[in-house]
Amino acid sequence: MHIPEAQRSNTLIEPIIKSRPKVGMIVLSTDLTCEHDFHYLRHKRQIEFDVFVNRIHFQNPITSKSLSDMLFELPSAAAQILPDTTLDALVFNCTAASALLGEARIKQAIDLPNTPIITTAAASLQSIQSAGYTHIDLLCPYSQSVSYQLAEYFSQQGLTITSLTYLDIDDDRDIACVSPASIVQAAKGAVTTAGQALFISCTALQVVGALDALQNHIKKPIFSSNLCTFTQVVEQLNKATHRHV
């Protein structure tokens, strides 16, 4: 077999002048849902930004300890996302862990002072408060104790929890398998007249795909972990670029 002598191209290489925003995302190693939800929302809303995902080790069951243990994995998980490249935002996409650990500890662990860090718990809080709601019904897929911890986080940040409903599932792979019909049924049982809005927690729960059905049955605003995180990412990109992505 004959291979001709290679020749170096004399093409003038021109760089891309305007590239899409770059968003890094740290996702639990066991999460089956959030990447799909982000791609779905980008396509549905025709918003252009690139998502670069790295997985962080997580060991089920979902407990305070297993959630807290991820703090020590955050530095390496963040550092492996496009090293030496400036990100427009970096997301730690876990509601329960970011509520338990707190935004300050997460930012300190990631240690990227020039990169906006978005956590799912803070993004959810921001979305709810920006919409003007102070009283929320809260639906969680977790155990009672983990659900209480999330409720305490929201309460400490100024929200009034008008009801707390939990599904008592301790493995996020099982959470991802909850059907849209079951999500709707649980949501119907979670809403109260006192709540101004319903927040459905967990990045693994497939709420985004069930939103149309939920809105047909729940006659009040509905917020979810992945939806709120996506919203805050878009707001951060708009703020940084002074334009709408």
Segment 95-120 mean pLDDT: 96
pLDDT at 61: 98
Burial class (CB in 10 A: 0-12, 13-18, 19+), 237: buried
In the chain, what percentage of residues exceed pLDDT 70? 98
CATH of the domain spanning 22-120+228-241: 3.40.50.1860
Q: How many CB atoms lie within 10 A of CB 169?
A: 21
pLDDT at 13: 82
Angle between helix axes 144-156 and 120-130 (nearest 10 degrees) is: 50
Contact 60, 172 (CB under 8 A): yes
Segment 206-224 mean pLDDT: 95
pLDDT digits (tens, 9 = 90+) for 6-55: 998 888 888 776 788 999 999 999 999 999 999 999 999 999 999 999 99
Segment 113-132 mean pLDDT: 97
Segment 225-235 mean pLDDT: 97
pLDDT at 242: 55
Tell me the C-alpha to C-alpha distance, in Å, between residue 134 and each of 105, 117, 160, 179, 207.
25, 24, 6, 29, 22
In the chain, what percentage of residues exceed pLDDT 90? 89
Residue 2 pLDDT level (bands cut at 50, 70, 90): confident
- Which of 64-78, 141-155, 212-226, 230-244 shows the lowest per-residue confidence on average (mean pLDDT)? 230-244
- Which of 20-29, 114-123, 233-242 shows the lowest per-residue confidence on average (mean pLDDT)? 233-242
Fold of 123-224: Rossmann fold (3.40.50)
Segment 139-146 mean pLDDT: 98
Question: For the chain, what are the domain ranges?
Answer: 22-120+228-241, 123-224
Q: d(Cα 160, Cα 136) in Å, to the nearest integer?
A: 6
- Give the residue from 201, 216, 212 showing the smallest Cα distance to 98: 201
H/E stretch holding 165: strand 160-166
Q: d(Cα 134, Cα 159) in Å, to the nearest integer?
A: 5
pLDDT at 215: 94
pLDDT at 17: 66
Amino acid letter, residue 94 = C
The DSSP string of 10-56 is: -------SSPPPEEEEEEETT--SHHHHHHHHHHHHT---EEEEEEE
